[in-house]
Copies of this chain bind each other. A is one copy, B any other.
């Protein structure tokens, strides 16, 4: 599970665009196409590359509302937390979810078709999880940056 300079550069490229051909990648990192492929294969098999996905515009498919939701529980018991984690994984409206430190327990990134749809989602969420104490919504006006692009500049050059 070691990563060298070339791996880091490959990761940096594919995390922005994973549709570049091995040849294009090779030209950029100074490697042959098959060399690139062997490395990418390893990075995928070792789950250093966790997934390869297309990012869809929520608006283009009629999801006009994006919101960040703060969830806090009455009591943060482990079983309650675990049950909630499982529940949100199954909710398709929840795009991302983070379990965090502090006053807030969870931060969810949610999409909905419209406000009515969003309200239904929140009602359902609170109804299904009676341990929720507070549920605070921030409507996303603008998705300034969307991604999980990790900085590669600081990789240990081993």
Binding site for B on A (CB under 8 A): 1, 3, 8, 11, 14-19, 46-58, 60-63, 66, 68, 85, 88-89, 92-102, 104, 106-107, 109, 111, 113, 117, 138-156
Q: Which 10 A-B pairs have the closest CB atoms?
A: A92-B151, A100-B138, A99-B142, A97-B144, A14-B54, A97-B145, A48-B60, A18-B54, A101-B139, A51-B55
Chain A interface mostly: mixed
Contact of A8 among B61, B104, B148 (CB under 8 A): B61
For this complex, 13 residue pairs linking A to B, each with C-beta atoms less than 8 Å apart, are: A3-B61, A11-B61, A16-B51, A18-B18, A48-B56, A49-B56, A53-B53, A95-B145, A95-B150, A96-B147, A96-B148, A97-B145, A102-B139
